Amino acid sequence: MSGMNVFDARTIFADLAPVVLYNEALSRHTTMRIGGPADALAIPETIEQVEALVHTAKSRGVPIFILGRGSNLLVRDGGIRGLVIKLGDAFSKLTVEGRELTVFAGRTIVSTAHVAMKNGLAGLEFAAGIPGTVGGAVVMNAGAHGGEMKDVIRAVQVLTSNGLIETRSVEALQFGYRTSSLRDSGDVVLGAVFRLAPGDTAEMQQKVKAWNVRRQATQPLSYPSCGSVFRNPAGDFAARLIEAAGLKGERIGGAMISELHANFIVNLGGASAADVISLMTCARARVRDEFGVELVPEVRVVGEDGARG
């Protein structure tokens, strides 16, 4: 589908969700504060609304992109054609039953981790500094401090692109380093069930506090970013290689390779996706030339090139 314009989007999706925004700048929905417009951005509040949006888009041949908090995304300057779905506030419900925590996919993983700790449930502490949603964290198999989502997930509920609601077991999700079978599958993650262990609330909170102090000291959190830009190559660190290539502080337009952490690219103000992509290309080329290592992006680069005319 290439030709959907704003007028088409208005007629197709208008009544299917409480909020549908047209030609909405995705820079308002990503932690990098970068990204061109979505033709339509719908914010559903019920599963039925998600179903209706997916069904309608599919039957009209309109591509769908699911957006979490945009904390692992670089949306190109031309934006995203078709329909972007961002789960609304109602998708943050959470219940605790024994050692299981069931949560809808739109809730932040940080607040989910905090509720778990308050309830004396251990296992999600590693996620208490990751600024994404449960949905995004599941899809990306987000991880930190030696933990990752796959260690604590029991099952995930999805809406398939064929409109079926299915429950997927951990085995079916094929988790790997910052990836899962859900990536690019067309499935919408609706929620997840975590299986946790008993833990001491104060001890867990103390541990998380120390990790977050460390993050504050080692990551450029006062600037917009998307976290780690590249995956760590086996046995090494992308940040170490980029720093060793002399690229800390390298700037293109409004984007800069952080002086604090070389695997972060920060938006100093007014950076375009093209600026960030040029810096990524530069980092890959220099690390390849100097160390023979091919850096692979961790950030998901999506959307179309160029500003829209």
Ligand X SMILES: Cc1cc2nc3c(=O)[nH]c(=O)nc-3n(C[C@H](O)[C@H](O)[C@H](O)COP(=O)(O)OP(=O)(O)OC[C@H]3O[C@@H](n4cnc5c(N)ncnc54)[C@H](O)[C@@H]3O)c2cc1C
Binding residues vs ligand X (CB under 6 A): 31, 65-73, 87, 105, 130-133, 135-137, 139-140, 142-144, 178, 183, 188-189, 219, 221, 225-227, 300
* 88 vs 286, beta carbon nearer ligand X: 88
- Which DSSP state fits 92? G
Q: How far is the CB of 134 from ligand X (least distance, A)?
A: 8
Residue 97 Cα distances to 101, 120, 136, 152, 189, angstroms: 6, 12, 23, 15, 21
Single-letter residue type at 137: A
* 105 vs 279, beta carbon nearer ligand X: 105
Q: How far is the CB of 20 from ligand X (least distance, A)?
A: 18
* 221 vs 283, beta carbon nearer ligand X: 221
* 142 vs 286, beta carbon nearer ligand X: 142
Q: How far is the CB of 24 from ligand X (least distance, A)?
A: 15
Which member of 33, 178, 284, 286 is catalytic?
178
Phi, psi of 276, deg, nearest 5 = -65, -45
Distance CA(253)–CA(255), nearest Å, equals: 6
| Residue reference for tokens 């039957």 | 59
DSSP bridge pairs for 40: 22, 83
Distance CA(65)–CA(276), nearest Å, equals: 21
User: What residues contact residue 231 under an 8 Å CB cut-off, 6+ apart?
Assistant: 177, 178, 238, 295, 296, 297, 298
Q: How far is the CB of 67 from ligand X (least distance, A)?
A: 5
Distance CA(215)–CA(299), nearest Å, equals: 19
3-class secondary structure, 242: helix
Closest CA to 32 of 3, 65, 70, 89: 70
* 66 vs 286, beta carbon nearer ligand X: 66
User: What residues contact residue 253 under an 8 Å CB cut-off, 6+ apart?
Assistant: 270, 271, 272, 274, 275, 278
Told to judge if 298 belongs to the known catalytic residues of this protein, a careful annotator would answer yes
* 27 vs 225, beta carbon nearer ligand X: 225
Q: If you count DSSP H runs as helices and E runs as strands, how many of each does the chain have, helices first?
A: 7, 18
Q: How far is the CB of 300 from ligand X (least distance, A)?
A: 5
Q: How far is the CB of 103 from ligand X (least distance, A)?
A: 12
Which member of 24, 125, 148, 298 is catalytic?
298
Which member of 27, 71, 228, 258 is catalytic?
228
3-class secondary structure, 28: helix
Told to judge if 178 belongs to the known catalytic residues of this protein, a careful annotator would answer yes
Catalytic residues: 178, 228, 298
